[in-house]
Each structure stands twice: as structure tokens, then as C-alpha cells.
Amino acid sequence: MKLLWYRFLSRLNKLLLPKIHTKPDLSRLNGFEKAVVGWKLWVTYRRLDAESDR
């Protein structure tokens, strides 16, 4: 169940959130962009944990 939830969130992130990795310098992100990067990392780590528990 957790794996399905994090797969869904991962796909939703890919469709709706902006791509930050195209910026030339990631150290100059504004607050919103930092939050997006943090959210994407959190979802990615949770999905990987759920896949490894499977």
C-alpha cells in the first residue's frame, strides 16, 4: 500500500512540479524552489524505502 502511494506521488511530482535540475546553479534557488527540491527528495527516498521493504 505504501509503495502504491509513493509511486502515485512520484508520478504526480513529475507531471505537476517544475524541473529544478535545469537551473545552471542550484545554490541560487529561491525558497519555493528549495521546498520543491526537498519535497521531491523526500518522496523519492520514501519510495525507494518502500521498494526495498517489498
Would you list the domain boundaries of the chain? Answer: 2-18+30-53
pLDDT for res 39: 93
pLDDT for res 11: 92
DSSP assignment of 20-36, as one string?
-TTSS-GGG--HHHHHH
Give every CB contact of residue 32 below 8 A, 6+ residues apart in sequence. none
pLDDT for res 26: 78
**How far apart, in whole angstroms, are the C-alpha atoms of residue 5 and residue 15?**
16
pLDDT tens digit sequence for 7-48 = 999 999 988 888 877 777 878 888 998 898 899 999 999 999
DSSP 24: S
Q: How confident is the model at residue 5 (pLDDT cuts 50, 70, 90)?
A: very high
pLDDT for res 43: 93
